[in-house]
Amino acid sequence: MATAQQNLGTALTSSGATAVTPETNTFTLTVGGTTYNLSVSILSTDTNQTALEKIAKAINAAGAGVTATVITDTTAGTSRIQITANRTGTNSAFSLADVTGNAVTATGANTVNVAAANAQYTVNGVSYTSQSNTVLLDRGHLTVNFLKTSTATVTLTVTPNTQAITGAVNNLVNACNTLAILIAQNATLISPRLSQAFNQAYTVKEQELAALGITAGPNGTLTVDQTKLTTAVQNNLGLVQSTFGGANGFAVNLGLLGQEITTSPLWGFAAPGAYQASFFPNTYSYLLTLNQSQLAAALFPSGTIVNYLV
């Protein structure tokens, strides 16, 4: 397992006179090869607990990637400083050393209680190390969290997140239907080129989409056979991926269409005779260009499969 270094200082009598030299004590804190120069002013009237709290505050203020706290045992009447790396692994190992004064030596702040260590694991016979107990496998597609050590072989079985994928497909279908209805309702205003491009995106993958339970009706809207789609996701995820995110994928082509809509001047999307003032507030802006936001919203609702699979 990967562990974070933890230092635990000497137990000092909390109310006793400070063991740290009453003066400005300077010391270094080195974390992962970076050295921080710290200082703390100790007074002759300070108790051990007060001095420890000052040192902990100076360490935390450095923002060096470690956290210092003062642990007080009220029963024993003692206090000690505890310093812990904020991250696991040897890259976050740290050390402290006095420069002037004895803040580190007197408090035992450089006493390592738990050493920094990297996780060690083997995947398919190949050994690896990690600074963290969370690692990515399968080219980053699989996140694995180490919870405890084991010498026994662990088999990981990965299955598709059916609910998330079918949900993304349904989101995209709903977006397509919104766009199809928008085009139909504004047929005299929108160039046929837009509906042709939309239909082409579907036609290219018509057979694959049908295999997933997605078909087009006479009015251009799509319907989803949820049972068929769920079965395909569970048993033929490759088909789902290639249909939407592969070469000429349905989602990819819709994405390209959406990009064209949102980046072009859009005069080409206006049908002849559409430039009439009565239409400006709805489909066309006052600049006589197609309302980009309306079409973009139809194409790209939150959580569409364009972002999920492409």
Alpha carbons 105 and 41: distance in angstroms, whole number = 16
Question: Which pLDDT tens digit goes with each residue over 191-241?
Answer: 788 888 888 889 999 999 999 999 998 888 999 999 999 999 999 989 999
How many residues would you count in the chain? 310
Alpha carbons 212 and 233: distance in angstroms, whole number = 8
Nearest partner of 206 among 197, 198, 215, judged by Cα? 215
Q: Are 49 and 62 in contact (CB under 8 A)?
A: no
Residues 6 or more apart from 46 whose CB is under 8 A from it?
Answer: 17, 18, 20, 22, 54
Q: CA 31, 59, 63, 72: dihedral to nearest 10 degrees?
A: 110
DSSP letter for 252, please.
Answer: H
Domain boundaries, the chain: 6-114, 119-158, 162-309
In this structure, the number of other CB atoms found within 10 A of the CB of residue 248 comes to 13
Q: Are 87 and 132 in contact (CB under 8 A)?
A: yes
Across 105-259, the runs of DSSP E, i.e. the strands, are 112-114, 119-123, 126-130, 134-137, 142-145, 214-216, 222-224
* Tokens matching residue 87: 């991250």
Query: Which pTM does this prediction carry?
Result: 0.62
**In a structure prediction context, what are the per-residue pLDDT tens digits for the chain, which is 310 residues long?**
999 999 999 999 999 999 999 999 999 999 999 999 999 999 999 999 999 999 999 999 999 999 999 999 999 999 999 999 999 999 999 999 999 999 999 999 999 999 999 999 999 999 999 999 999 998 888 899 999 998 888 888 888 889 999 999 999 999 989 888 888 888 778 878 888 888 888 999 999 999 999 999 888 899 999 999 999 999 998 999 999 987 789 999 888 888 887 777 656 677 766 554 444 444 444 444 455 555 555 554 444 444 444 3
Question: Which pLDDT tens digit goes with each residue over 33-45?
Answer: 999 999 999 999 9
Cα 263 to its chain centre, rounded Å, is: 28
Beta bridge partner(s), residue 128 = 121
6-114 has which CATH code? 2.60.40
> Cβ-count burial of 163 within 10 angstroms (0-12 exposed, 13-18 middle, 19+ buried)?
exposed
3-class SS of residue 260? helix
Classify strands 6-8 and 78-85 as parallel, antiparallel or unpaired: antiparallel
DSSP 166-199: HHHHHHHHHHHHHHHHHHHHTTTTB-HHHHHHHH
Cα 43 to its chain centre, rounded Å, is: 47
In this structure, the number of other CB atoms found within 10 A of the CB of residue 252 comes to 19
In this structure, the number of other CB atoms found within 10 A of the CB of residue 234 comes to 14
Q: Are 109 and 96 in contact (CB under 8 A)?
A: yes
